[in-house]
Every structure is written in structure tokens, then in C-alpha cells.
Amino acid sequence: MTEDDLRQLIGRVQRGALSRRGFVRRLATVGLTAPMATQLLAIAGAAPAAAQNQPAYRATRRGGGGALKILYWQASTLPNIHFAVGTTNQDAARVFYEPLAGWATDGTLVPVLAAEIPSVENGGLAENGRSVTWKLKRGVKWHDGQDFSADDVVFNWEFARNPQTAATTSGSYTGVNVVKVDDFTVRVEFDKPTPFWADAFCSASGALIPKHLFGSFNGPNARDAPNNIRPVGTGPYRFASFAPGDVLRGELFQNYHGENRPFFDTIEVKGGGDAVSAARAVLQTGDFDYAWNLQVEDELLLRLEAANRGKVNIIEGSNIEHIQLNTTDPSQEVDGERSSIKTTHPAFSDPAVRQAMALLVDRNSVSQFIYGRGGPAASNFLHAPDRFRSSNMRWEFNIARANEILDAAGWARGRDGIRAKGNVRLKFLFQTSVNAPRQRTQQIVKQAAGRCGIDLELKSIVASVFFSSDVANPDTFPKFYADMQMYTTTMTQADPQRFMSQFASWECAAKANNWQGRNAPRFRSEEYDAAVRAAEAELDPVKRAALFIRMNDIVVGSNHVIPVVRRPLVSASLNTLRPVLSAWDSTMWALQDWYREA
């Protein structure tokens, strides 16, 4: 899809020939997020100001809702947003702390502590993309009774960007300058034109901590602040108790700034155990109201849902389970590292082998029989039934064609049935993390590959090693000492810039950067690099969107990255509970709006 195609699509939305929803969904198939799509519509004036998919809040008074019990199969350990490692901790912190604005699941930005969302029309957004001005909501109180003001906002910037505090949120706050305009106005200034301005102070990682409690801990002593484990925020529930690795409790905050909110009197977030029994605790026994992130085979969830106590919520996001084919040779050691970019993979350097491999991934079966509703088959290609359909870019599962391609490319079957050319045999090591659906997927791919004369050796690595940044360990995914690997890349921001830049050549994981680079397959393409650089500074959202689509086509078209299934967020809740969820923000992003129907 090109820039022109995009503009035509937007035109159709304006004329009413295409629904907003249809537009968002169509862009999702080319790898663009809902927030990006909404942003495109906003430019054209085709977007509503407020989120559309927000369910109405029907509670008529504050409190009286009893207890809200939430179950996570991972337990939180540190509820300070600036030190939060992992989603669990971020969500725990988000129970108490709030950002200026959060992302609704349809991609609109919703004000929380901000009075309104900045736009070019209301003067909040600078035309040149160099600054954004936020007006703060008045009358907001911290849980200890102090007033919330612009000083708190500025302090969070100072705190997060300070290298000595080693805040995990620092990525959002470096490269920006924050100025207090008055007590209820702050201006965020960027050192270059910035298309994605809603990063600092927005979404879960943008939640704000109080200056009056953390002011004296803005330095190396930041991690010793007593309020790190006793949060005092502005959220709907105030802190009651916290046992690290076990349970977090809160109670209704009487002075909350939202009208008639919150509904529940207490909140409990219990952690630990496993995903299957978490689903059981909601769907089968109803002991809990909500269970988070159920990475469980869908077959099982469907059976549990049959008890009719609760339902499974599926929220489309942009997380993608994919297989990477190594561009470099994992068996050859050069200058003390394997999979060095000075080498090329003996088999995958042949596009025919990569194409065959992509044809051998039975995405339909994986989606239908393993992930179910939790994993629609991913193509990242346009396959809607209109003139944008591109027949050579569609994914398919076709063993016969893979065989033909390999035959034509000169990979002949040996005596043992395994194909070879010269002294290169199609025998690959396929690694992933320990996770039941992933091991099932591995087996499905292995069987199809076997029928095509490709022998796969499967390997599973415990997640705490596979996903670690440990330089000494050979089994981490950035090291990629294997021919193929599979995992989910999560998109932590509403904007795809950071997500897509992971396949830029300067992100290649290598010994030189301690394998900190995010480009595990060591994919390199000059055209791709140029597109990433161009998108960083492109202010025209339509042009920028076209660049992202181009990047997606380059990397997926090379077959070094084979999308398998999309991974929407799957959770379970009781039938009576009305949770408000979003794929672009924390589970707790609209906790104040949760209520229970009688």
C-alpha cells in the first residue's frame, strides 16, 4: 500500500464509503496500529473527538460496589512506575498512579489528569511538531490530601531522565524538555520535529508520582524511597497493603477526581500460580472477578467458558508471534561470536529456502487449533477483497509448492530424505521459549518441514534465560545461536516507530554491543534503514504511515521474518463485571470506569 492508496482509503472514510472500524482493521493487516490509524483519520477530520468503543459507566454513586478481585499469574514486586520491570509491575503501579492521558482500544487518546487532549485546533500542538502543551485538570488531589500541580509533572521528567535514578521510563523522557507554563499548564519541547508526541506523561509508563514524597530521592538513593512500595497517587484507589510477590490491596479514594467513581470499595490484585488455574478461578469457580493475560490454548478456555460464569475478553493489539530465519551462520565462530554479521547463513542465504520455509508454516492450523481466538493467523499483507489485493504477497500453506521451489533451486533429497545442495544440508535448529502453545507450534512446523525434506531439531529454553540480556549465556534470543527462532515481539507503544526500527541494520545484536541490539535475525537492508530514518522526522501522518507499511513489506517480503499469529490480549472476567480494557495501554488504564452490573 502506498501513500496514494492510503489517501484514497481516507477519502472513502470521509465520503462514508468505508467505516472507521473497517479502516482501522484494514490498516492493522498492513502492520499499522489502531492509534496510528485514528491519527490518520484525525488529520482528515474524519475522527470523532471522543473514544467510541468506551462502554457507558452506569454506576450512579461513588463506592458501594464491594470488593474487586483481580488475579495475575505473575506477581508484582515493585509498584513504582519509574522502576516497574514488566507488565505486572506496571499494572500494579497504574492502580494508584495516573498519567495525563491514556490510549483507548480504538486508538484515541483519552484525558486522565489532563483537562483536554492537545491538538492543532486547540493550540496544544505546535504546527512544526516541536512542542506540545498540556492543560492539567484542576482540583486533583494526591491520596495524602496534597494538591496535584504542574510541579509534579515537571518533577517526573526530572526524575525519569536522571541517569542516577536508572528509571525504566527514561526512554520516554530523554530528548525532551519540559517547561512549567503556569500551575496547571506544562509544555513538552522536542529537539527535533516529533510526529509521535504522546509519549512522555502518556499511557501506563507515563503515570505520575508525587514530587512532595519523591523530591528528596531524585538521585542514586531513588530506589530507597519508602514510598516505592507504598504508592501515593491520584488514582481511584488508595494504597492499603502490599506483599511483594503476593498481593496488592487498595481501598476507595474518597476525593477521586472522577465523578461517581470508583465503584468498588476495595481492590485486590493477587499474583502467582499459572494461567490455566487463573482462568479456572474466574470462569469455573467465580472466586475472582478478572484474570489477566491468559496464554492458554483456546480449546481449554472455550470449555471453561461453558460453565457460564464468566467470559473471555479479546482485545486486538499489535503483538506478533513470528519465526525468524537467521541471516548469519550460527555454527561458525568469527572473532569470538557465532551468528556474526561477517558470515552468511549457508541455506537461508538462498531466497528459495526462505520462501519454502514460509510456505511450510501452517498458520491456519496454528491459529485454529492452538491459539484460537487468542491468535488469528498473521499475514501483515493486504488481503482485503478490493483492488489493493496483492496476490504475490499473501501467505499460504503449501507443501507441494515448497517442494517445487526447492527442487527448482537445486536442493535435492539425499538418501535419508533430507535435501542438500553441495555440502549444505537442510537441517535446522529451531529454538523458542518454554511455553505449551509454542512447543505445539514447533511440532506442527516440524511435521510440515519433514514432508518437504527439511529436518528441524527442536529446542526449548526456559523463558528466564531465553529472554534475558545475559551476555554470558548462549541461549538468549539476541544471541540467536540457532537457525530459526520464534517468539512474540510486543508493541509497548501506540506508535510503531520503535517497534519497526528493530530491524534496522544498526540494531543488529552483536558482540560489539553486548548483544543489546534488538535485531536478532541480523536483518540488513539499505532501503529499510532509509525508511526508518525518514519516518523519524516525517510530520505528514499519511506519508509516515506509508513508510511503515513499506518497512513491513520489506522485512516480511524477505521471508527472514515469518509472521505466525497475532497475539491479542486475552483475559477473563465474570459476566457481571464491566471492565474497560485497551490493547494500547495498561490493563488498569481505566480502572475508575470498571463496575459491576447487578
Partner 1 sequence: MTQYLLRRVLIAIPSLLGISVILFTVLALAPGDPFEELATNPAIPPEVRQNLRASLGLDDPIYLRYFAWLGSMLQGDWGYSFISRIPVDDLILQRLPTTVAVIGASQVLALCIALPVGVMAATRPYSLFDQVANTLAFVGFSLPTFFTGLLLILLFSIHLDWLPFVYSTKIDATGLAWWWAQLKQSIMPIAVLGLFQGAAWTRFVRSAVLDVVRLDHVTTARAKGLPESRVTLRHVVRNAMIPVVTLVALQMPAVFGGAIVTEQIFRVPGIGSLLITSILSNDTPVIMAVTFVFAALVIFFNLVADILYGWLDPRISYR
Partner 2 sequence: MAAPAARKRVGPWGEAWRRFRKHRLAVVSAVVLAVLILGVLVGPLFWTLPIDEIDFSARLAGPSWAHPLGNDDLGQDLLARIMYGGRISLAVGFAAMAVAVTVGVAVGAIAGMAGGKLDAVLMWVTDLFLSLPQLPLLLLIIYLFRDSLKEVVGPEVGVFILIVTIIGLFNWMQVARLVRAQFFSLREKEFVEAARALGASRWRLVTRHILPNALGPVIVAATIDIAAAIIAESTLSFLGLGFPPDIPTWGRLLFDAKDNLDFAPHWAIFPGLAIFLTVVSINFLGDGLRDALDPRRVI
Q: What is the binding site for partner 1 (CB under 8 A)?
A: 71, 75, 77-78, 83, 85-86, 163-164, 166-172, 174, 205, 220, 223-224, 228-229, 241, 243-247, 249, 270, 272-274, 277, 280-281, 284-285, 287-288, 464-465, 467-470, 472-473, 475-478, 489-490, 492-493, 498-499, 501-502, 513-514, 516, 518
| Residue 365 binds which entry of partner 2, partner 1, none, CB below 5-8 Å type-dependent | partner 2
| Residue 71 binds which entry of partner 2, partner 1, none, CB below 5-8 Å type-dependent | partner 1
Which residues are within 8 A (CB) of 249 and not within 5 positions of it... i.e. 6 or more apart?
Answer: 240, 241, 242, 266, 267, 268, 269
Check if the beta carbon of residue 81 is closer than 8 Å to that of residue 209: yes
Check if the beta carbon of residue 552 is closer than 8 Å to that of residue 380: yes
Among 5, 179, 230, 369, binds partner 2 (CB under 8 A): 369
| Cell, residue 213 | 514524597
For residues 294 and 374, give the distance between their C-alpha atoms in angstroms, rounded to a whole number: 9
| Residue 369 binds which entry of partner 2, partner 1, none, CB below 5-8 Å type-dependent | partner 2
| Cell, residue 573 | 472476567
For residues 50 and 350, give the distance between their C-alpha atoms in angstroms, rounded to a whole number: 50
For residues 547 and 534, give the distance between their C-alpha atoms in angstroms, rounded to a whole number: 8
Q: Does 443 bind partner 2 (CB under 8 A)?
A: yes
What is the sign, positive or negative, of the torsion defined by CA atoms of 499, 503, 506, 508? positive
| Residue 20 binds which entry of partner 1, partner 2, none, CB below 5-8 Å type-dependent | none
Q: Does 439 bind partner 2 (CB under 8 A)?
A: yes
For residues 276 and 373, give the distance between their C-alpha atoms in angstroms, rounded to a whole number: 16
Q: Does 85 bind partner 2 (CB under 8 A)?
A: no
Which residues are within 8 A (CB) of 583 and not within 5 positions of it... i.e. 6 or more apart?
Answer: 34, 105, 315, 316, 317, 318, 568, 569
Q: Does 240 bind partner 2 (CB under 8 A)?
A: no
Nearer to partner 2, 37 or 456 (CB): 456
Cα separation values, 257 from 137, 174, 236, Å: 9, 30, 8
Nearer to partner 2, 91 or 298 (CB): 298
Among 444, 509, 555, 556, binds partner 2 (CB under 8 A): 444
Q: Does 473 bind partner 2 (CB under 8 A)?
A: yes
Minimum CB separation of residue 492 from partner 1 in Å reads: 5
Among 447, 492, 502, 525, binds partner 2 (CB under 8 A): 447
Instruction: Identify which range of 97-105, 253-261, 471-479, 510-518 contacts partner 2 by CB under 8 A.
Output: 471-479
Q: Which residue has the cell 513508510?
A: 547
Check if the beta carbon of residue 111 is closer than 8 Å to that of residue 104: no
| Residue 469 binds which entry of partner 1, partner 2, none, CB below 5-8 Å type-dependent | partner 1
The length of the chain is: 598
The contact set with partner 2 (CB under 8 A) reads: 276, 296-297, 299-300, 303, 365, 368-369, 434, 436, 439-440, 442-444, 446-447, 457-462, 465, 472-475
